[in-house]
Structure 1
Amino acid sequence: MRRALKRARDGVALDVTEAAVLLQARGDDLKDLAASAARVRNAGLEAAGRPGVITYSRKVFIPLTRLCRDRCHYCTFVTVPGKLRRAGHGMFLSPDEVLKIAREGAAMGCKEALFTLGDRPEDRWPEAREWLEAEGYDDTLAYVRAMAIRVLEETGLLPHLNPGVMTWTDLQRLKPVAPSMGMMLETTATRLWSDPGGPHHGSPDKEPAVRLRVLEDAGRSNVPFTTGILIGIGESYEERADSLFELRKTARAYHGIQEVIVQNFRAKPDTAMRGMPDAELEELAAAIAVARHILGPSARIQAPPNLVDAEYALLIGAGIDDWGGVSPLTPDHVNPERPWPHIDELAARTAESGFTLRERLTIYPEFIQRGEPWLDPRLLPHVRALADPETGLAREDALPVGLPWQEPDEGFTSSGRTDLHATIDTEGRTGDRRDDFDEVYGDWEALREAAAPGMVPSRIDADVRQALSQAADDPTKLTDDQALALLHADGPALDELCRIADALRRDVVGDDVTYIVTR
């Protein structure tokens, strides 16, 4: 723990083992870890041009359907057709029900319409398929798309879509109707999905490899994407750390993850996991702080404010910079027992920690400023109507108004260079690659490792490199900290350590290897 905390304080890149150790920080160790994470967060906010600002999105929650083909053992959102019928509900919200929620939210100043629903319920429930066919839709996502367009045109709210696992083709269908989408990774612990009794057993859409592919496809499709981890569902600290590193890998490769949620498990009655203890808030704070160190200053990290028992200062101190969506109208249908805090209260509690609460849109400012291909031209008028042109945050005095969803009058404009036919001959190539290489193709180092794993040279940390140098010069003068650093050597550093040790052995005793026979 001591060495890992020092490396976090010094801003040294952590590995999975160190991250797993830091996830267990409590008490004074947690305070130390959180302080360094907060410094990283503050540097990122400064670089983004909004120092001292914690954001949130004013939203309405539209539970388009509570049917799902999965069977997560902690979920109370999902139900069955019989219960819906007995309660007098349809298999899906009707268009009128969707628009009623959206219109009421728009009147209250909400700017986001969060569409939440189960994964492909028509694959499990004949009632869901019959409803869709009767209404003229091929599948659930076709209905999602249609309702998103109606919300845009009739209310002006910006849809954020959470329809679960999506294929590359699904993402192309939905991108023109929603400025952002999302899906929680939750965990990379495959055993929680594959082993009987695991929280995700029997849920085809919760296989970690499938969900990671969605994140990659969203990045390839230039979709601003929200994801995150769910802590306390039975994963180990090592698995929790691995989940964060997988998110970092995807974020670096495609630059498409706009926000990472770190959410704590809360047990609910009438579920298979009702007897499992809740994730403690110090455990949540440690996970947030480690996420901040792994994901870096430019990451936007959120903790849902209705799940933290008013411990706002603890989580702000651990490195969050966003509270996520908060609704003045609709409940959190996924955690119905946990009401949203009043926005004025959230602002006051945020101010107590020295930060200002500012409203954002469902698409983060960085992606608004990037424009195409991250923001579809058909959505540009809707976003511009609500965004502050200078900051990209929400114009808090703006009330959404429905606007036509259509191709822009000026048509699609190219975001690439159109002068190469002339300048390539007159000016020649001025670099080894185009200026926007990383924006177009993603982080080359991350992509190269994916294409040729093991071929990218590993970097040796400064403290290990210094210890190796001392070991080569005079190993008797190694300090305790240097010896501790060498105990964690791996990859090229371990190879070099072995080479030094082998040379020392050769100098001291030669190349003879002795043994003794015992009886």
Structure 2
Amino acid sequence: MISAADANRYKNATGPDLYALCEQASAVRDAQWGQQVTYSPKVFLPLTNMCRDTCGYCTFVQSPDSPNANYMTPEQVLAVAKQGEAAGCTEALFSLGEKPEQRHLKAREWLEHLGYASTLDYLQSQCEQVLERTRLLPHINAGALTKSELASLKPYAASMGMMLENSSINLMKPGQAHYGCPDKTPKRRTATLEAAGELGIAFTTGLLIGIGESWEDRVESLALIRDIHQAYGHIQEVIIQNFRAKPGTAMAGCAEPDLDEMKRTLAIARLILPPEISLQAPPNLEQEYGAYLSAGINDWGGISPITRDFINPERAWPQIQSLDAACRGRGYQLFERLTIYPEFQSTEQHFLVPALQQRVHGLNQTNLLSRGLVA
């Protein structure tokens, strides 16, 4: 691992310097992860698209005044989960706005109609339904949560996640990406990461780059993630996601990070973070798969055969055959994985409650059978 001071020297790396940086990151990846690159076959369940935050780049969130603002019903959740199960998915990704009922009357009315006091109560019930009626493993992405909220959800999810996005308080200022977003304060996001560690929750986090942060902010954010993981050992993967400008948002006219910016950030992430943390980049936000592999990633994240990316609906998921070809072209093999990585699945570590432990074991056996690795 390199220090923040060393990482800051690569701020403007390009050409041969960027190539050498990526070579260094790739060597670290290969030493830890070998020639295997992974992805998680998932189904995307956008439980509600209302939120109390108003990020400057987001099109997922709908105003209560919009006819598109809604909660999925239990019947809809189960129907989509069943479709995913039939298509060979193993992950049920629950993604939702943060505590919309605390800001919007319409959200409170929806919850009352569904028979729940809060969005998180409803989320728990739907994770439980998916566990009881499908073979899928829930992964929860519900934003910034308190320790007690995380504890209440842990029995119903194999893993959870929340993007740190960035640790810079400057993004909270007027005119910046997180202005008016109470759940995006660095203090609140950091507290969630730490609470997940205290509870032994296999966790995903990451950065959203190109939203107004500096290079130094990115390095500081990655160092913060590293330090939290070293304290608790629970961060299983880090995502580096590139901002994409969307019509109708406050940041519609902002410049997007180019490919060199992504490669530079990915490589530095690989070198700052402990090598056991999986490094991921979304393949539907940039089609230069080989460039991402050369920068040190070992995972493509969740990819769905049946549901779109509701966070970036304009960006279709890639065909698995395309990713496989890109991996083989670089000398790697593409494999499916579960939402919780193997290193977090042992009974001694207590990342999984017993019922989820049994589900994970069963899915692992099924995957081995399908690959002809067990009789």
Q: TM-score range with shorter-chain normalisation?
A: over 0.9
Instruction: Look up the equivalent residue of 1:278 and give its one-letter code.
Output: E
SS at match of 1:83: coil
Measured in 2, the distance between the counterparts of 1:117 and 1:396 equals 34
| Residues 40-67 of structure 1: CA deviation (Å, up to 9, x unaligned) | 111111xxxxx20001000010000000
Superposition pairs for residues 249-260 of structure 1, below 5 Å?
249-260=227-238
Q: Which has the higher contact order (CA 8 A, sep 6+)?
A: 2
Match of residue 30 from structure 2: 42
- Quick check: 1:317 aligned with 2:298? no
- CA 230–359 in structure 1, closer or farther in 2 if over 3 Å, else same: same
TM-score by length of 2: 0.96
Superposed displacement of residue 348, structure 1: 1.2
Measured in 2, the distance between the counterparts of 1:396 and 1:16 equals 44
- CA 300–124 in structure 1, closer or farther in 2 if over 3 Å, else same: same
- Quick check: 1:62 aligned with 2:45? yes
Q: Which of the residues 145, 158, 162 maps onto 1:166? A: 145
Work out whether residues 52 and 97 of structure 2, in 8 Å CA contact, stay in contact via their aligned partners in 1. yes
| Residues 380-419 of structure 1: CA deviation (Å, up to 9, x unaligned) | 2211111149xxxx54839xxxxxxxxxxxxxxxxxxxxx
Measured in 2, the distance between the counterparts of 1:371 and 1:62 equals 31
Superposition pairs for residues 384-403 of structure 1, below 5 Å?
384-388=361-365, 394-395=367-368, 397=370
Work out whether residues 40 and 296 of structure 1, in 8 Å CA contact, stay in contact via their aligned partners in 2. no
- CA 396–272 in structure 1, closer or farther in 2 if over 3 Å, else same: farther
Match of residue 364 from structure 1: 341
Work out whether residues 347 and 357 of structure 2, in 8 Å CA contact, stay in contact via their aligned partners in 1. no
Match of residue 157 from structure 2: 178
| Residues 455-491 of structure 1: CA deviation (Å, up to 9, x unaligned) | xxxxxxxxxxxxxxxxxxxxxxxxxxxxxxxxxxxxx
Match of residue 100 from structure 2: 121
Please identify runs of 4+ aligned residues in structure 1 that moved more than 3 A.
394-398
Superposed displacement of residue 232, structure 1: 0.8
Work out whether residues 188 and 243 of structure 1, in 8 Å CA contact, stay in contact via their aligned partners in 2. yes
Work out whether residues 23 and 290 of structure 1, in 8 Å CA contact, stay in contact via their aligned partners in 2. no
- Quick check: 1:135 aligned with 2:123? no
Q: Which of the residues 20, 30, 34 maps onto 2:8? A: 20
- CA 274–328 in structure 1, closer or farther in 2 if over 3 Å, else same: same
Superposed displacement of residue 372, structure 1: 4.3
Task: Give the aligned length.
Answer: 371
Instruction: Look up the equivalent residue of 1:56 and give its one-letter code.
Output: Y
Runs of 5+ unmatched residues, structure 1: 1-12, 46-50, 399-519
Q: Which of the residues 297, 301, 305 maps onto 2:279? A: 301
Measured in 1, the distance between the counterparts of 2:361 and 2:30 equals 28
Measured in 2, the distance between the counterparts of 1:282 and 1:157 equals 37
Instruction: Look up the equivalent residue of 1:68 and give its one-letter code.
Output: C
Match of residue 462 from structure 1: none
Superposed displacement of residue 18, structure 1: 2.2
What's the C-alpha RMSD, in Å, of the aligned pairs?
A: 1.4
Measured in 2, the distance between the counterparts of 1:272 and 1:215 equals 28
Work out whether residues 20 and 240 of structure 1, in 8 Å CA contact, stay in contact via their aligned partners in 2. no
SS at match of 1:306: coil
- Quick check: 1:150 aligned with 2:133? no
SS at match of 2:363: coil
| Residues 4-42 of structure 1: CA deviation (Å, up to 9, x unaligned) | xxxxxxxxx533232122142111111000001111111
Match of residue 376 from structure 1: 353
Measured in 1, the distance between the counterparts of 2:60 and 2:275 equals 34
| Residues 73-92 of structure 1: CA deviation (Å, up to 9, x unaligned) | 000000012223xx5x6x21
| Residues 157-199 of structure 1: CA deviation (Å, up to 9, x unaligned) | 1100001111000111000000100000000110111x11010
Measured in 2, the distance between the counterparts of 1:372 and 1:76 equals 38
Measured in 2, the distance between the counterparts of 1:217 and 1:297 equals 22
Superposed displacement of residue 299, structure 1: 1.6
Instruction: Look up the equivalent residue of 1:189 and give its one-letter code.
Output: S
Measured in 2, the distance between the counterparts of 1:69 and 1:396 equals 45
Measured in 1, the distance between the counterparts of 2:18 and 2:216 equals 18
Work out whether residues 41 and 88 of structure 2, in 8 Å CA contact, stay in contact via their aligned partners in 1. yes
- Quick check: 1:346 aligned with 2:310? no
| Residues 359-384 of structure 1: CA deviation (Å, up to 9, x unaligned) | 00000110013554111112122111
Measured in 2, the distance between the counterparts of 1:349 and 1:375 equals 34
Superposed displacement of residue 323, structure 1: 0.3
Measured in 1, the distance between the counterparts of 2:35 and 2:189 equals 33
Runs of 5+ unmatched residues, structure 2: none
Match of residue 416 from structure 1: none
Instruction: Look up the equivalent residue of 1:124 and give its one-letter code.
Output: R
Measured in 1, the distance between the counterparts of 2:358 and 2:4 equals 43
- CA 191–396 in structure 1, closer or farther in 2 if over 3 Å, else same: farther
- Quick check: 1:244 aligned with 2:244? no
Measured in 1, the distance between the counterparts of 2:198 and 2:36 equals 30
Q: Which of the residues 50, 55, 58 maps onto 1:72? A: 55
